[in-house]
Structure 1
Amino acid sequence: MTNRSDRWLAGFALAAMLACTMPSASAHQANKRVADANALVTTDIAPRPAPQSTRRSVSRSEKGPYYVDFRARTAASWGHAFVWYGKTSERAVDVAGLTPAGDTWSYMLGYLTWVPSETGASYGDLDPDYLTASYRVYLNEADAKRVFAYIKKLQASSPVWNAETTNCTGFIGDIAEYMGLKVPNRWQRPENFVNSLRDMNGGRQTVRLSAE
């Protein structure tokens, strides 16, 4: 009996390391917070500069008027990874991420099986006090349309959440991969994932999608 209990606890601890976020408010509360915060949000922390060996001058026109910001924040569990995306000249942002829908029970059940998900903003995504990592990449208008469409498609095709297989780092990793970025191991803390994503890509600030 002791060995069985030990194995169960070890498995639960492993699953906890892969978790994204415990919902701390209802979807209605989160959406209201997003609406309120969009009026106040600003471009916050800048991405870490690339090493001198890989850094190059980037003109304003090269950066483009659009961006995707890969982000991580604190949460009741091991944190949460998500993206901001939008137009640099606008203060409002769109938010996409993968979280379990519902209350704490749904979150706990998500360690054992798949549970229904939410793919929009969750509580705390727009609060700078919770931010732990950020890596922003700029795109031109044509590429932004493609990437933003992919994000919306990914949201529509991600109906479930599971701590081990379909979690928040995997979700934003799919976006990064679509953009042609090098993607780190997805089974790590959200903060470490975003920092590794930035470092693996040399802190590059622009992305150009290859022509289809």
Structure 2
Amino acid sequence: MTLGRGGLSLVILLAFALSSCQTEDKSPQPRFTSNSSGTKAAAAQDKSGGMEAAGAQDKRHFIEFRSRYALTYGHTYVVFGQMDKDGNMIDPEVAGLAPASIDAAPYVIGHFLPVPATTGQTDGDLEEEYRSASWRVILTDDEYNDVVAFIRKQQANSHFWQASVDNCNNWVGEIARHMGYKTPGIWLRPQQFITNLREMNTTDSTSHAA
């Protein structure tokens, strides 16, 4: 099969993107959980890595800042909803920014020009084998309602993905900043972005590692 000039250029760009963005992440990082002020949630860990708060309601709201592995440098996104007393998520929802197509071409083009975006769940987001880092924040009802309203507004206004500016780190960082958190630079690998985000807003002594 022969490729025209445009097809050959696309292959070259794809090869460049893949060769420069191969996964160089660390092994999966421990799960961390805190309350919205960045201090350890008063809880006891069960064997599955869940958390049971003394005297807490059976269901609590949370948002989890998360990264996952991918063939390239990975993806940053949030998971939010309710969890039971054992820390198991109940019908979680996923939000993040990514190219709308699963084809490689829009992803490669998006490193140079904006491409249509999706702001919902993408393949592998809720699979533990792909999770590379996470920071779960337990929220009050008011805190949860506020951040979900912000996410909905952000989803309605986000139409394009562009790797260097409108990328997944920046999109999730906007949510974190709305919650009053400090955020790292948006050009980090997703695992490092989530790790730095947690470290900037908690300390190892005040956040809970599963």
TM-score by length of 2: 0.70
- 1:178 aligns to what? 178
Q: Deviations over 1:2-52 (max 9, x none)?
A: xxxxxx98xx66xx65xxxxxxxxxxxxxxxxxxxxxxxxxxx63078xxx
- 1:82 aligns to what? 77
How has the CA–CA distance of structure 1 residues 56 and 46 changed in structure 2, closer, same or farther, with 3 Å as cutoff?
closer
2:94 paired with 1:95: yes
Would you tell me which structure has more helix in proportion to its own residues?
1
Aligned positions of 1:15-30 closer than 5 A? none
- 1:108 aligns to what? 108
Would you tell me which structure has more strand in proportion to its own residues?
2
- 1:58 aligns to what? 42
Q: Please report the RMSD computed on the Cα atoms of aligned residues, expressed in angstroms.
A: 2.9
After TM superposition, the runs of 4+ consecutive aligned structure 1 residues lying more than 6 A away are 61-64
Using the TM superposition, give the Cα deviation of residue 171 of structure 1 relative to its aligned residue in structure 2, in angstroms.
Answer: 0.6
Q: Distance in 2 between matches of 1:56 and 1:131?
A: 21
- Retained in 1: the 8 A contact 2:33–2:137? no
Equivalent residues, number? 165
- Retained in 2: the 8 A contact 1:116–1:160? yes
* One-letter code aligned to 2:93: D
Q: Secondary structure at the match of 1:81?
A: strand
* One-letter code aligned to 1:92: D
Q: Secondary structure at the match of 2:136?
A: strand
- Retained in 1: the 8 A contact 2:183–2:197? yes
2:141 paired with 1:141: yes
How has the CA–CA distance of structure 1 residues 172 and 57 changed in structure 2, closer, same or farther, with 3 Å as cutoff?
closer
How has the CA–CA distance of structure 1 residues 144 and 108 changed in structure 2, closer, same or farther, with 3 Å as cutoff?
same
- Retained in 2: the 8 A contact 1:124–1:130? yes
Using the TM superposition, give the Cα deviation of residue 62 of structure 1 relative to its aligned residue in structure 2, in angstroms.
Answer: 8.2
Matched residues, percent identical? 36
Using the TM superposition, give the Cα deviation of residue 91 of structure 1 relative to its aligned residue in structure 2, in angstroms.
Answer: 2.0
What stretches of structure 1 of length at least 5 have no aligned partner?
1-7, 18-44, 206-212
Using the TM superposition, give the Cα deviation of residue 56 of structure 1 relative to its aligned residue in structure 2, in angstroms.
Answer: 5.9
